[in-house]
């Protein structure tokens, strides 16, 4: 074992020299040198020991924890893994097709097989003990939260190992304070907050925004260039093709990896990693990481119902003044996309190169017993804002939002970025005579709108549809978007055919002034389509596609940033909302309205199938609605929104 560890460290040193790393996460390959057990990936056991935490801000005290946890250590989850290993090794032994190492492996496996054969997916004894230790750590870190009669609710998926995990965790809390009011429950009605995309969830969302992978390499291609799995099998079987059909060889090699990684979850000292070289263990770990990322990333925004539940239950506790905790127990395939959705510790990074996946998607941080805590603090003085911090596996973690006192964040500020508006019905359809509505913004003169026409310029439109010319060129003006500076009243518009951004100064609006020309998208008829006033004297401008580009332009400094977007198929129009500090993007190709960060990262999506060619969007907080314009019909649609 000591020699194997030295070889592993030496191999990792070489690998670290050639693998690419990212700036926002610690060097994962250095971590592997220090902690080779991380190669167990999601089979790694979450540590349960004490962790140093930052003191509460002066005058604040913790009062509530919102928790999502993965089940504890378990036996292998693949239903046929143990039997498949037994079948292949038994057959090979009967055919004298085992090497010396293969015979050693079979001997070790045979001592374990009777114990594990019928336990696939079960919580292990270590998993049971682990959960009580994690509960004790939570109690020790925040005893103020678990005073007598504090209320603790626990919910879980219907998986047996999750139910047992919940029971063990709650038993651990009860053991520390028998007077706690703890209620455990499971059932279908809790699935939105536990397993939002599970097929058994009758409330499963179907309209969430998918996020396609930013690379084209397939998992199968990645396997072929990453590991020689036949070399692994040849150490066990003199005739690999006799032991296994070729089409089963990779799957069996992966079973050997998972079986070895799962030993730490069981009460055994047996080790099965000696069949791999150090480089092979890292390669298999990378392949496992690729598969997890490729599975989770495209649908991770579908796990927002968990975030909604965290917010709703926290607000209930804040309003009631109760102390205690809300506990949720689920699986790794939910825990990982939840981290992506919240972008905890950079997990929300859109990976462009598969070799960078381990830098951003570190599977040892989704271990057996993984846990995410939102810990809430309130001030002792009336009127003080609610603060919270996030713990990932007991350690203080970062969110992608500003704070002047990390690890503490402003709860209300967090909700503005995470608590998504809820789209209601179309409450009004307004007919206009604007030739092909292609952009929309508030009228600087008061009630009503300015509407861009991709035929001849900008029109003024009342809320009942009366239309008049604002700045029109009947000779033709391919105006695809319009916006206004709320401080000065200056109007800005874009001309797609020429890729121009232009200004009309208040109050006369009769002289058009060229600000800049965007070179990207020229001569494509897929150029400038959206413009919106942003902040700090700047505009956001959107190029429709090829490239799907979001440009920030400062009136003082010129173009300050360019970002090619991947979450939308195009940019048909833009509207920045300073109340929420978010950006709305209309996508007429998909007939979807996107809620995004100002950088264009998709936060939520709202299908608008009633629009034939939705190319205009304008937020109207005063009336709790969003207006969208249809280029085909020149009609404006008033769409109601809750929590806008």
- pLDDT confidence band for 636 (50 / 70 / 90): very high
DSSP symbol at 618: E
17-24 LR contacts (CB < 8 Å, sep 24+): 19/355, 19/358, 20/353, 20/355, 20/356, 20/359, 21/356, 21/359, 22/346, 22/349, 22/356, 22/359, 22/360, 24/346, 24/349, 24/360
Kindly state the percentage of the chain with pLDDT values over 90.
80
pLDDT at 22 over 60: no
Q: For the structural domain made of 1-419, what CATH number should be given?
A: 3.40.50.1240
Give me the pLDDT at residue 545, please.
72
**639 contacts 416 by C-beta, under 8 angstroms:** no
Query: Averaged over 245-262, what is the pLDDT?
Result: 97
Give me the pLDDT at residue 24, please.
42
Residue from 366, 363, 130 nearest 264 by CA: 130
pLDDT at 602 over 50: yes
Give me the pLDDT at residue 5, please.
46
Residue from 427, 307, 431 nearest 372 by CA: 307
- pLDDT confidence band for 175 (50 / 70 / 90): very high
Distances (CA, A) of 628 to 572, 587, 620: 11, 11, 11
- Give tens-digit pLDDT for 277-295: 999 999 999 999 999 999 9
Q: Are strands 151-156 and 181-186 parallel, antiparallel or unpaired?
A: parallel
pLDDT at 224 over 90: yes
Q: Structure pTM? A: 0.74
Taking residue 173's Cβ as centre, other Cβ atoms within 10 Å add up to: 22
DSSP 460-494: EE-TT--EEEEEE-TT-B-EEEEEE-TTT--EEEE
**314 contacts 64 by C-beta, under 8 angstroms:** yes
Question: Which tops the pLDDT comparison, 1 or 355?
Answer: 355
- Give tens-digit pLDDT for 127-139: 999 999 999 999 9
Question: Which tops the pLDDT comparison, 558 or 23?
Answer: 558
Residue from 65, 82, 5 nearest 256 by CA: 82
CA–CA separation, 126 and 5 (whole Å): 24
Query: Averaged over 575-601, what is the pLDDT?
Result: 92
Give me the pLDDT at residue 459, please.
97
CA–CA separation, 26 and 175 (whole Å): 37
- Give tens-digit pLDDT for 405-449: 999 999 998 987 776 788 899 999 999 999 999 999 999 998 899
- Give tens-digit pLDDT for 540-557: 999 987 788 999 999 999
Distances (CA, A) of 462 to 299, 467, 522: 40, 7, 34
- pLDDT confidence band for 20 (50 / 70 / 90): very low
Residue 291, helix vs strand vs coil: helix
pLDDT at 21 over 60: no
* Beta strand spans in 464-591 (E): 467-472, 479-484, 491-495, 500-504, 512-517, 528-533, 538-543, 549-554, 558-564, 573-577, 582-587
List b or e across 149-172, with b for residues whose CB sees 16 or more CB atoms inside 10 angstroms.
ebbbbbbbbebebbbbbbbbbbeb
Query: Averaged over 139-143, what is the pLDDT?
Result: 98
Architecture in CATH of 422-642: 6 Propeller (2.120)
CA–CA separation, 34 and 358 (whole Å): 16
Tokens of 380: 């002792």
CA–CA separation, 220 and 341 (whole Å): 26
Q: Which of 125-139, 246-260, 580-594 has the lowest mean pLDDT?
A: 580-594
CA–CA separation, 84 and 92 (whole Å): 12
Residue from 194, 189, 133 nearest 335 by CA: 194
**123 contacts 164 by C-beta, under 8 angstroms:** yes
pLDDT at 10 over 70: no
pLDDT at 403 over 80: yes
Give me the pLDDT at residue 206, please.
76
Tokens of 601: 């990262």
What mean pLDDT, rounded, does the chain reach?
92
Give me the pLDDT at residue 624, please.
93
Beta-carbon-side half-sphere exposure of residue 529 (alpha carbons within 13 Å)? 29
Q: Where in the chain is the domain with CATH 3.40.50.1240?
A: 1-419
- Give tens-digit pLDDT for 294-324: 999 999 989 999 999 999 999 999 999 999 9
- pLDDT confidence band for 7 (50 / 70 / 90): very low
Question: Which tops the pLDDT comparison, 401 or 331?
Answer: 331
- Provide CB contacts within 8 A for 17, sequence distance 6+: none
Give me the pLDDT at residue 368, please.
98
List b or e across 546-577, with b for residues whose CB sees 16 or more CB atoms inside 10 angstroms.
ebbbbbbbeeeeeeeeebebbbbbbbbbbbbb
Q: Which helix (H) or strand (E) holds 293?
A: helix 278-296
Query: Averaged over 27-46, what is the pLDDT?
Result: 91
**Is 642 exposed, middle or buried, given 0-12, 13-18 or 19+ CB atoms closer than 10 A?**
exposed
Residue from 520, 483, 515, 486 nearest 502 by CA: 515
- Give tens-digit pLDDT for 482-539: 999 999 999 999 998 888 999 999 999 999 999 999 887 666 666 899 999 999 999 9
pLDDT at 177 over 70: yes
pLDDT at 208 over 70: yes
Give me the pLDDT at residue 30, please.
85
Q: Where in the chain is the domain with CATH 2.120.10.30?
A: 422-642
């Amino acid at each position: 074992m000591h020699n194997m560890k030295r070889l592993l460290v030496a191999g990792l040193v070489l690998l670290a020299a050639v693998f690419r790393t990212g700036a926002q996460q610690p060097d994962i390959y250095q971590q592997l040198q220090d902690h080779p057990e991380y190669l167990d990936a999601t089979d790694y056991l979450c540590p349960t020991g004490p962790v140093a935490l930052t003191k509460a801000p002066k005058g604040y005290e913790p009062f509530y924890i919102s928790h999502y946890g993965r089940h504890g250590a378990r036996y292998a989850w693949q239903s046929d893994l143990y039997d498949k290993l037994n079948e292949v090794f038994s057959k090979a032994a009967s055919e004298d097709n085992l090497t010396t190492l293969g015979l050693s492996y079979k001997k070790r496996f045979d001592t374990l097989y009777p114990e594990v054969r019928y336990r696939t997916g079960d919580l292990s004894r270590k998993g049971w003990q682990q959960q009580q230790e994690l509960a004790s750590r939570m109690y020790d870190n925040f005893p103020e939260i678990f005073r007598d009669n504090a209320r603790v609710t626990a919910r879980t998926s219907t998986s047996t190992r999750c139910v047992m995990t919940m029971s063990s965790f709650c038993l651990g809390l009860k053991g520390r304070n028998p007077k706690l009011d703890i209620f455990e429950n499971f059932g279908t009605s809790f699935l939105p907050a536990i397993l939002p995309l599970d097929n058994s969830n009758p409330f499963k969302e179907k309209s969430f925004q998918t996020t396609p992978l930013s690379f084209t390499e397939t998992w199968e291609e990645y396997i072929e260039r990453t590991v020689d799995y036949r070399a692994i099998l040849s150490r066990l079987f003199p005739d690999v093709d006799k032991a296994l059909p070729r089409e089963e060889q990779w799957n069996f090699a992966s079973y050997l990896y998972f079986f070895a990684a799962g030993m730490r979850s069981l009460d055994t000292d047996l080790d099965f990693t000696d069949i791999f070289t150090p480089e092979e263990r890292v390669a298999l770990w990378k392949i496992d990481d690729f598969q997890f990322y490729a599975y989770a990333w495209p649908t991770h925004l579908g796990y927002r119902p968990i975030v909604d539940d965290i917010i709703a239950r926290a607000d209930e506790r804040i309003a009631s003044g109760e102390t205690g905790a809300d506990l949720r127990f689920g699986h790794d395939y939910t825990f990982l996309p939840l981290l992506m959705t919240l972008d905890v510790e950079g997990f929300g990074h859109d990976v462009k190169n598969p070799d960078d996946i381990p830098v951003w998607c570190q599977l040892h941080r989704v271990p057996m017993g993984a846990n995410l805590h939102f810990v809430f603090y309130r001030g002792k003085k009336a009127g003080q804002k609610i603060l919270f911090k996030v713990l990932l596996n007991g350690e203080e973690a970062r969110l992608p939002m500003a704070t002047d006192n990390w690890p503490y964040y402003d709860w209300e500020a967090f909700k503005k970025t995470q608590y998504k508006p809820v789209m209601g019905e179309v409450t009004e359809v307004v007919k206009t005579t604007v030739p092909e509505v292609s952009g929309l913004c508030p009228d600087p003169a008061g009630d009503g709108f300015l509407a861009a026409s991709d035929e001849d310029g900008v029109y003024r439109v009342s809320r009942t549809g009366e239309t008049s010319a604002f700045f029109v060129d009947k000779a033709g003006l391919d105006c695809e978007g319009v916006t206004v500076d709320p401080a000065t009243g200056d109007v800005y518009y874009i001309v797609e055919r020429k890729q121009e951004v232009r200004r009309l100064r208040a109050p006369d609006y009769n002289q058009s002034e060229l600000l800049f020309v965007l070179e990207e998208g020229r001569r494509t008829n897929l150029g400038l389509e959206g413009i919106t006033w942003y902040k700090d004297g700047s505009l956001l401008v959107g190029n429709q596609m090829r490239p799907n580009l979001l440009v920030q332009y400062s009136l003082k400094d010129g173009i300050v940033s360019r970002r090619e977007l991947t979450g939308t198929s195009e940019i048909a129009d833009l509207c920045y909302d300073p109340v929420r500090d978010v950006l709305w993007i209309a996508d007429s190709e998909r007939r979807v309205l996107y809620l995004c960060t100002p950088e264009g990262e998709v936060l939520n999506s709202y299908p608008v199938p009633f629009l034939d060619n939705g190319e205009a969007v304008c937020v109207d907080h005063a009336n709790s609605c969003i207006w969208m314009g249809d280029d085909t019909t020149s009609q404006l649609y008033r769409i109601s929104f809750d929590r806008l």
